[in-house]
Structure 1
Amino acid sequence: MLKILHFIFGRMYFQVKGYQTERFLNLCAKNHLVLWELKPVSDGYVFFIRRSSYQMLEALAEKANVDLALQGQKGLPYFLIEHKKRKILFFSMCLCGLMILSLSQFLWEITVSGGEVYSESDILKYVTDNYYHIGTLKYQIDCDALEDHLREDYAEIAWASCSIQGTRLHIEIKETLDRKTKQNPKKPCDIVANKSGIITKMAVKSGTPLVSVGDSVKRGTTLISGLIYYYSDDFTVTQTDKIKADGEIVMRTKEVYNNSIPMEYYEKLITGKKKSIKNLYFGQYQFDFPEKKRQDHTNVMTKRRSLKIGKSFYLPIGITMQITERYKPKKKILTKKEAQLKLKKQLERYLMKKAKAGAKIVHCEGNYKKKNNRYEVKASIIKEESVGKIRNIKKLTKKQEKMITPTTAQQ
């Protein structure tokens, strides 16, 4: 911060020499004159001072009978004086600054992270089609409302966090709610089941539990309510508070896994790779470059690269890169044994992915068979996993209220 201030207000670099340099330094200290980067040299000292302190420095040097020699002047005021005839340069700098300032008020990039069930392109399409698109003014973006919409419209999203970072809207989603998840709502909430199964473990940190271990629940059932009831001695409700429900719920769930592969398929042998610029875009406008006729047996991938300043200050300018891969198709026919081995490896990778996400695989049984020109596997997977998703608080039903009402037998 000091370096920035020194640049804005300017600083001067001096050398002092004479027989009473120590007295001069003592006078500077007595008069609270700040010298920095003070260094001894062969015939005196060198140091920096603020531009505004020059007159006091000159008076103290005269009083101590020492010689001052100006070695240099640095900072914005001297830069402006030195280049005062270059009006076009200053005009361009001001225009560039105003342009960057105006561009910083808009949204130029949307990124998504954390999704497994839902792809980044799915979430981006949902947000841009229904709520915010590139070029939206940042003050019009309501991150809290967008978080609510994402949790309500996507059954598998347990937690969502939206934030404005520079000119970027970053959306982070999580499809499993556990104690390690930092709950993002700024308002009270319930925790509801995002899957059906049997409760095997439950630890409530805050809120009112509406289920217990051993209960069989369906998707959408409220597990922990954000409503807190206070009762009088005669068991009538005297006060109701709303808080953020928090806790960890582990449920035993059952899932049916289906997968199939063709008996005959083509393996791609890559023969070459080529990169090219497909188009140049500015905001929502796109300028396509002439494209060569696409050859047969070619994979095409596109990557969007935006111009940015720093990590999160995106600008509405960029290019779309096109990566093409030529390949040679080679026909292969799977035997029954090879097909089963391939399907088994794909199932194992799927189970490892679930285990990595925190699920405990209790049982898995697969049934392999051939149907028409395909080999299929149907597996029944029983697993224990953390469940729950955040939802805005809903009023309890009479049955739920009766469940949590204290009785004399409980006292």
Structure 2
Amino acid sequence: MLKILHFIFGRLYFQVKGYQTERFLNLCAKNHLVLWELKPVSDGYAFCIRKSAYQTLVTLAQKANVELTLQKQRGLPYFLKEHRNRKILFFFIFLCAMMIFSFSQFLWEITVSGGEVYSKSDILKYVTDNYYHLGTLKYQIDCDALEDHLREDYDEIAWVSCSVQGTRLHIEIKETLDRKTKQNPKKPCDIVANKSGIITKMAVKSGTPLVSTGDSVKKGTTLISGLIYYYSDDFTVIQTDKIKADGEIIMRTKEVYENSIPMEYYEKTITDEKKCIKNIYLGQYQFDFPSKQKQNHTNVVTERRSLKIGTSFYLSIGITIQTTEKYQPKKKILTKKEAQLKLKKQLEHYLTKKAKKGAKIVHCEENYQRKNNRYEVRASIIKEESIGKIRNIKKLTKKQEEMIAPTTAQQ
């Protein structure tokens, strides 16, 4: 930031020499004159100052009887002065600035973070196909509405935050709603069940609880309402407020895990070094350089890199990098023992991921079998996990209103 200010307002580089250079430095300190990049040289000191401090510097140098020598001038004022007759240069600088300003009004990058159940490519395709594509004007993007749509259309998304940063739309999702999750809605909300099961633990921070420990609930049931009821002495509702419901609900759930692998498969042996092909894209258009026709038995990985300024100001131009490598396929046939071991490792990996997300595995019953030319595993998993997702507030039914005792209404 300091370098930017120095460039905008200009800076002067001096060398000072004489018998009273130390007195000169003391006078500068006494008058609060800041000397940047001060360093000793053979016959004095070298430093730089702001352009606006020049007159003060000359006065102090005369008072200390030292010799000042101007070494160089740097910054925007001197650049403009030096090139004041180059009108074409300034025209192109102005044109570039206007182009950058124009580009800054559009969306050029969409990023997704935090998802495990849903892949980033699935979320990106959903957003670009149904709502916002690259090149959309930023003022047309409604982050709140997009959050609502993502929570409604994806059952496993408990929490989502969308924000426009520079020319990038960033989507952060979380598939478990727990006490560490920061509530992101800007408006009141309910917490509903995103799974069916039995509640084993419930801690309400704000809102009105509609279920209690031991209750069996179905997916979509409102667990904590954002509606707060105020009652009179005769238990009549005198006021209703809307707030953000918050709390942690632990539920015992049952899940059926299914997976299968083919009896026959091909093992890849890399036979050639990786080769990269770079192509240029501009907006929705890509310009491919001539390349060899794609050959059989070749892995291709495509990576897109956008040109950007800073961390979030993406431009509509960039490159796509295609990395290719040849491989030699070798056919292999799994035995029953090998297939069962491979499926078991994949199941253990799945359970480990669930445990890392806070789930407690209570019971797991596995069943392995061969069906046609595939080996299959079917596991019945009982676990205790944090559940719940945010939803816009819905009006309570009469039955729900009757369930709420005045003493249980919380704020």
1:199 corresponds to which residue?
A: 199
SS class of match (1:244): coil
1:267 corresponds to which residue?
A: 267
2:315 corresponds to which residue?
A: 315
Distance 1:26 1:253, change over 3 A: closer
1:50 corresponds to which residue?
A: 50
Looking at structure 1, the residues matched to 261 and 16 of structure 2 have their Cα atoms a distance apart, in angstroms, of 85
2:112 corresponds to which residue?
A: 112
1:328: Cα distance to partner? Answer: 1.9
Where does structure 1 lack aligned partners over 5 or more consecutive residues?
Answer: none
Looking at structure 2, the residues matched to 99 and 316 of structure 1 have their Cα atoms a distance apart, in angstroms, of 11
Q: Deviations over 1:224-269 (max 9, x none)?
A: 1111111111111111111111111010000111112222222222
Distance 1:59 1:238, change over 3 A: same
1:351: Cα distance to partner? Answer: 1.1
1:222 corresponds to which residue?
A: 222
1:339 corresponds to which residue?
A: 339
Q: Structure 1: which amino acid aligns with 2:354?
A: K
Distance 1:293 1:21, change over 3 A: closer
Instruction: Indicate the percent of aligned positions where both proteins have the same amino acid.
Output: 85
Looking at structure 2, the residues matched to 40 and 372 of structure 1 have their Cα atoms a distance apart, in angstroms, of 84
Q: Structure 2: which amino acid aligns with 1:112?
A: V
Looking at structure 1, the residues matched to 18 and 65 of structure 2 have their Cα atoms a distance apart, in angstroms, of 8
Where does structure 2 lack aligned partners over 5 or more consecutive residues?
Answer: none
Q: Deviations over 1:155-185 (max 9, x none)?
A: 1111101111221111111111111111110
Looking at structure 1, the residues matched to 328 and 196 of structure 2 have their Cα atoms a distance apart, in angstroms, of 47
1:400: Cα distance to partner? Answer: 0.9
1:387 corresponds to which residue?
A: 387
Alignment of 1:69-218 (within 5 A): 69-218=69-218
Q: Deviations over 1:80-138 (max 9, x none)?
A: 23344544444333332322222122111101111112111111111111111101111
Looking at structure 2, the residues matched to 304 and 161 of structure 1 have their Cα atoms a distance apart, in angstroms, of 24
Q: Deviations over 1:318-355 (max 9, x none)?
A: 22222223222222222222222222122111111211
Looking at structure 2, the residues matched to 204 and 290 of structure 1 have their Cα atoms a distance apart, in angstroms, of 62
Residues matched between the structures, number = 407
Looking at structure 2, the residues matched to 25 and 337 of structure 1 have their Cα atoms a distance apart, in angstroms, of 83
Looking at structure 1, the residues matched to 305 and 347 of structure 2 have their Cα atoms a distance apart, in angstroms, of 35
Q: Structure 2: which amino acid aligns with 1:329?
A: P
1:13: Cα distance to partner? Answer: 3.4
Higher mean C-alpha deviation, range 277-286 or range 227-236: 277-286
Distance 1:94 1:218, change over 3 A: same
Looking at structure 2, the residues matched to 214 and 180 of structure 1 have their Cα atoms a distance apart, in angstroms, of 24
1:4: Cα distance to partner? Answer: 3.0
1:377 corresponds to which residue?
A: 377
SS class of match (2:234): coil
Asked if the contact 1:278–1:291 (Cα under 8 Å) also holds between the matched residues in 2, the reply is: no
Asked if the contact 2:230–2:406 (Cα under 8 Å) also holds between the matched residues in 1, the reply is: no
Looking at structure 1, the residues matched to 22 and 327 of structure 2 have their Cα atoms a distance apart, in angstroms, of 80
Q: Structure 1: which amino acid aligns with 2:293?
A: K
Looking at structure 1, the residues matched to 332 and 3 of structure 2 have their Cα atoms a distance apart, in angstroms, of 68
Looking at structure 2, the residues matched to 387 and 237 of structure 1 have their Cα atoms a distance apart, in angstroms, of 30
1:240 corresponds to which residue?
A: 240
Higher mean C-alpha deviation, range 52-61 or range 290-299: 52-61
Q: Structure 2: which amino acid aligns with 1:13?
A: Y
2:352 corresponds to which residue?
A: 352
Distance 1:111 1:37, change over 3 A: closer
Distance 1:43 1:179, change over 3 A: same
Asked if the contact 1:274–1:323 (Cα under 8 Å) also holds between the matched residues in 2, the reply is: yes
Q: Deviations over 1:172-223 (max 9, x none)?
A: 1111111111111011110000000000111111111111110000000000
Distance 1:38 1:117, change over 3 A: closer
Kindly report the root-mean-square deviation, in angstroms, between the aligned alpha carbons of the 2 structures.
2.6
2:276 corresponds to which residue?
A: 276
Higher mean C-alpha deviation, range 337-346 or range 57-66: 57-66
1:325 corresponds to which residue?
A: 325
Q: Structure 2: which amino acid aligns with 1:338?
A: E
Asked if the contact 1:340–1:368 (Cα under 8 Å) also holds between the matched residues in 2, the reply is: yes
Q: Structure 2: which amino acid aligns with 1:367?
A: N
Superposition TM-score, scaled by structure 2 size: 0.90
